A and B are shown apart, each in its own frame.
Chain A
Amino acid sequence: MTHITCTHAWLRRNLFADAISGMTTVLLLAGVLWWLPGLIDWVLLKAVFKADAAACHAVNHGGACWGVVAEKYRFILFGRYPHAEQWRPLLATVLLLSVIAASGLRLLAGRRLLATSALALPGFFLLMGGGYFGLGAVGSDQWGGLPLTLLLASMGMLLAFPLAIAVALGRQSGLPLLRGLCALYVELVRGVPLISVLFLASFLFPIILPQGFSIDVLLRVQAGIVLFAAAYLSETVRGGLQAVPAGQHDAAAALGLGHWQSMRCIILPQALRAVVPSVMNSAVSIFKDTSLVTVVSLYELTGSLSLALAGDAEWRSYHLEGYLFIGLIYWIGCYAMSRFSQGLEIGTGDSRLRS
Chain B
Amino acid sequence: MQGQRWRDLTIQALLAAGLLAALWWLLDVTASNMAERGIRSGFDFLTEPAGFAIGESLLPFDSADSTLRALAAGLANTLRVALPAIIASTLLGTMIGLGRLSPNLLLRGLCAAYVEILRNVPLLLQLLAWYFVVTDLLPLASEAVQLAPHVFLSKSGLSLPWFGGDAGLFDLPLQGGMNIVGGAALTPEFLALLLGLSLYTAAYVAETVRAGILAVPHGQSDAALALGLTRVQLFRLVLLPQALRSIIPPLTNQHLSLTKNASLAVAIGYPDLVSVANTTLNQTGRAAECIALIMAVYLILSLLTALLSNWLERRSGRWAERS
Contact = CB atoms under 8 A, between A and B. Distances in A.
A192 B298 contact: yes
B266 A195 contact: yes
Nearest to A208: B30
A164 B137 CA distance: 45
Interface in A298-350: 302, 306, 317, 319-320, 323-324, 326-327, 330-331, 334-335, 338
A295 interface: yes
Chain A interface, DSSP helix/strand/loop, else mixed: helix
Interface stretch (A74-82, A129-137, A199-207): A199-207
A292 interface: yes
A255 B294 CA distance: 51
B59 interface: no
Given A199-B278, A302-B124, A193 B104 contact: no
A29 interface: yes
Given A14-B104, A24-B106, A319 B132 contact: yes
Contact of B132 (A32, A199, A320): A320
Contacts of A211: 32-33, 36
A317 B290 CA distance: 35
Given A24-B106, A335-B120, A204 B125 contact: no
A284 B291 CA distance: 27
B107 A24 contact: yes
A236 B135 CA distance: 40
Interface residues of B, number: 56
Chain B interface, DSSP helix/strand/loop, else mixed: helix
A196 B294 contact: yes
A23 B11 CA distance: 70
Given A199-B278, A289-B122, A331-B117, A319 B136 contact: yes
A224 B294 CA distance: 16
A255 B232 CA distance: 56
Contact of B124 (A17, A284, A292, A317): A292
Interface in A245-297: 284, 288-289, 291-292, 294-295
Interface string B272-297: 00100010010000011011001100
A21 interface: yes
Contact of A334 (B30, B120, B123, B129): B120
B12 interface: yes
A274 B109 CA distance: 29
A294 B123 CA distance: 13
B237 interface: no
B298 A191 contact: yes
A118 interface: no
Given A32-B110, A200-B291, A204-B288, 10 more contacts: A28-B107, A29-B106, A207-B39, A295-B266, A302-B122, A320-B132, A327-B121, A327-B129, A334-B121, A335-B120
List 10 A-B pairs, minimum CB-CB distance, nearest first: A334-B120, A14-B105, A193-B260, A191-B302, A203-B287, A291-B122, A288-B122, A193-B263, A323-B129, A177-B12
17 contacts: A28-B107, A175-B15, A176-B12, A191-B302, A193-B294, A193-B298, A194-B260, A196-B298, A199-B281, A204-B291, A207-B34, A211-B36, A289-B122, A302-B124, A306-B128, A323-B132, A327-B126
